[in-house]
Structure 1
C-alpha cells in the first residue's frame, strides 16, 4: 500500500507541474493576487461585479474588492451602507497588482487545487510510511521530509505571488519542484520489493550524473528565457508571436547551445547502453524525451510558439529529469541489492 501512495503522490506532483505550466503559458500567475485564498474566497469569483463595492452588501472578514485600482480587504464582517466607509477596509499592502481576469483567476485556482491535492497525497503517503519503520527508518524520514518540502513549496508559491512573479523566485519554485520529484522517485526506487543489480562502469554512471546535471541547468536557463519572452509579450503584445524571440538575449543562445550538448550526451548514453548491454531500459525513454524536448523548442523558435508548445516543453523537461534521476539511482545502486521491503 505504501508504494501505491508513493506513485499517487508522484502523479499528483506531476499534475501540479502541468497545471503550473499552463499558468505560465497563459500568464495567469497573478490570477489570485492573495494567498492561500483567492480574492479572499475559498471559491473565486466569476464576475467582476463580485469584486466591486455595492451598497447593502454583506462582506466577510478577509474578502477582497477592487476599488480605485487597489485591493481593499474587509477588516471585519459587516454589511455596507449607502456609501463607502474606509474604516471597514484595509489596503492590501503585499503588492499593488489589482486586476481581475476570470480566466487567469480560475487557471491559477485550479493550479492551487492540484497543489492542495498533491499535499494531501504526500501526507497520506507519509502516514503509510510508518508501516515500513521496521524495515527501513530511511523511508519514514524521507516520507516526512516530503511533507515538509511540499509545505515549503507552498510557501514559495506565496512569495512568488507577493513578489508579483519575481523571476528569481519562479526559478527557485521550479527547482524545488524537481527536488520534491527526486525525493519521491528515490522512495519509489528504494521501496521496491526486489532490486535488480546492474553491472555498469563507473565512467558510464558518471556520464549519467553529468547528463542529469545538464538537464537541471537547462531547466534553470529555460526559466530565464521564459522571463525574457514574458517581457517581450508585455512590449509587443501576445499576438505578435513572431517578435517574441526576434532579438533574443544571451540566455537564449546558451539555452540553445546546451540543448545540442544534452542531445549528444544522451545519444552517447543510449549507444553505450546498447553496446555494453547494461540493461537500463529507461534510457530509451530518456533519449525519446530529449528528442521531444528539442522538437518543442524548435517549434517555439521557428514556428512562432504553436499552441501548447510552451507547457509541453516544461512538462517534458520535468519528465526527462524524473527518468534520468531514476536511471541514475539504478546505476548508482548497481552493487546494492540489499534492501527488500514487505508490501503492506
Structure 2
C-alpha cells in the first residue's frame, strides 16, 4: 500500500476523532478536559464494539479483503472497479458495496479510537512532565499501555481479514476489544469521586473479580458461537433440537486452530460440532447469570455500590431476554447486536464494581454510614 493511501486513512481517522474531541475541548480546565476525554474514549470504544458486532453479524468482515485499506485504496469509492467485479461474480458473496462500506466504516472508527488514545496519552505525559511527577492522578503509564494495547488490537484486526475470518483469530479480536474497554472503564472510574464503601462492600473484592472472570469466559464462548455461525444450531428452548442433551461433537467444535466451517483435517464441520458450541454457551450462561445476580444482590446492600448493583441486575435481565429472543426469533440482526452490547455493558459494570470495592473511600458500618462524597450525576 502506497504512502498516499496510508495518509488518507490516517486523516479519515483523525476527522472522525475530531467529533468527540470537539466535545472534550469545550470543557473548562485541564482536569475537566482530561476526565471528559477518558469517558468519551470509553464510550466511543463501546460504540466501536457494537459496530464491530454489526460488521461480524452482517458477514461484512471481508467486505474489503485486504488491510488497512480497500483494494489498496482509502475508501470503497476509489475501489469501485474491484468491488463491482466481485459483486457481479458473487452477488451475495463476501464483497459487495454494502459490506465494503460497513467494513471500512468499522476501520475508520477503530482508527479514531486510536487517535483518542494518543490524545489521552499526550495529555497525561504533558501534565506529568510539567508537574515533575507531583500529580499522581496523571501518571502516564496506564494511557501509554492503552496505546500499546490498541496497536495489538489493530494487528489482530488485520489478521482477522488476512486469515479469512479464522474463528480463533476473530474471537481473540473480540476479547481484546472488550479488554481495551475494561481498561478504559478502570481509568474512567479513577477520574470520578465515589460514595464510601462499608466493610461489607470491601468484602466483595474477590467475588467481583471472580464474576469478571466468569463473564470473560462466557463472552469467549459467545464469541466462539458467533464466529462459527452456531447461533441457530439449537432453535428451541429449554431443549436443544428436542433433547435436553443433544447429539454433540466437542472434539471438532472446540478445536481452536482451524479454518471457518472446517475441521482441523480440512473436512466440513459437522452439525453436531455447531450444536456443542451453542449448547455449552447456553448452559454456562445460567451459571454466569446466577452468580452475577447474587453479586448484584450483595452490592445492593451497600450505599456506595448500590447503583452499580442495580444496573447489573437490569443488564443481566436484558441479556437473558435478548439471548432467548435470538433463539425464538431466529437470530434477528438488531437483537443480536444488542446482545453483544449487553455483554460489553456487563464488562464495564463489573470493572466499575471491582474498582469501587477496592478504592472507593472507606465507609463505616451500614447502620451508621452517611454519604460523604457526592457521586457525579449518571455515574455507575
- What is the TM-score when the length of structure 1 is the normalising length? 0.75
Write the deviation string for residues 53-106 of structure 1: whole angstroms up to 9, x where unpaired.
Answer: xxxxxxxxxxxx86x98xxxxxxxxxxxxxxxxxxxxxxxxxxxx953111111
**Structure 1 residue 307: deviation in Å?**
3.7
Q: Is the aligned partner of 1:327 residue 2:353?
A: yes
Q: 1:311 to 1:99 in 2, by over 3 A?
A: closer
Q: How many Å separate the matches in 2 of 1:190 and 1:242?
A: 44
Q: How many Å separate the matches in 1 of 2:68 and 2:180?
A: 21
**Structure 1 residue 195: deviation in Å?**
4.7
Give the corresponding residue for 2:60: 28
Q: How many Å separate the matches in 1 of 2:74 and 2:288?
A: 43
Q: 1:232 to 1:45 in 2, by over 3 A?
A: farther
CA RMSD of aligned residues (A): 2.9
Give the corresponding residue for 1:249: 275
**Structure 1 residue 199: deviation in Å?**
1.5
**Structure 1 residue 302: deviation in Å?**
1.8
Write the deviation string for residues 296-343 of structure 1: whole angstroms up to 9, x where unpaired.
Answer: 110011221134111111111011101111111100224679xxxxxx
Give the corresponding residue for 1:80: none
What number of residue pairs does the alignment pair up? 288
Query: 1:300 aligned to 323, 326, 345, which one?
Result: 326
Q: How many Å separate the matches in 2 of 1:232 and 1:286?
A: 27
Give the corresponding residue for 1:103: 98
Structure ranking higher in strand proportion:
1
Q: How many Å separate the matches in 2 of 1:174 and 1:259?
A: 18
Give the corresponding residue for 2:337: 311
Give the corresponding residue for 1:128: 123
Contact 1:139–1:191 (8 Å) recurs in 2: no
Write the deviation string for residues 236-276 of structure 1: whole angstroms up to 9, x where unpaired.
Answer: xxxxx969x85652232221122212222222223223345
Contact 1:46–1:102 (8 Å) recurs in 2: no
Q: 1:219 to 1:107 in 2, by over 3 A?
A: same
Summarize the alignment of residues 1-344 of structure 1 with structure 2, pairs less than 5 Å apart: 1-45=33-77, 49=81, 100-133=95-128, 134=133, 135-136=135-136, 139-192=139-192, 194-201=193-200, 203-229=203-229, 248-275=274-301, 277=303, 279-334=305-360
**Structure 1 residue 162: deviation in Å?**
0.6
**Structure 1 residue 2: deviation in Å?**
1.1
Q: Which runs of 5+ in 2 are unaligned?
A: 1-32, 242-271, 364-380
Q: How many Å separate the matches in 1 of 2:83 and 2:97?
A: 11
Q: How many Å separate the matches in 2 of 1:306 and 1:270?
A: 29
Contact 2:198–2:362 (8 Å) recurs in 1: no
- What is the TM-score when the length of structure 2 is the normalising length? 0.68
**Structure 1 residue 11: deviation in Å?**
1.7
**Structure 1 residue 174: deviation in Å?**
1.0
Bigger Rg, structure 1 or 2: 1
Write the deviation string for residues 27-52 of structure 1: whole angstroms up to 9, x where unpaired.
Answer: 10000111111111111138864557
Q: Which runs of 5+ in 1 are unaligned?
A: 53-64, 70-97, 234-240, 338-344
Write the deviation string for residues 226-245 of structure 1: whole angstroms up to 9, x where unpaired.
Answer: 13326979xxxxxxx969x8
Contact 1:178–1:318 (8 Å) recurs in 2: yes
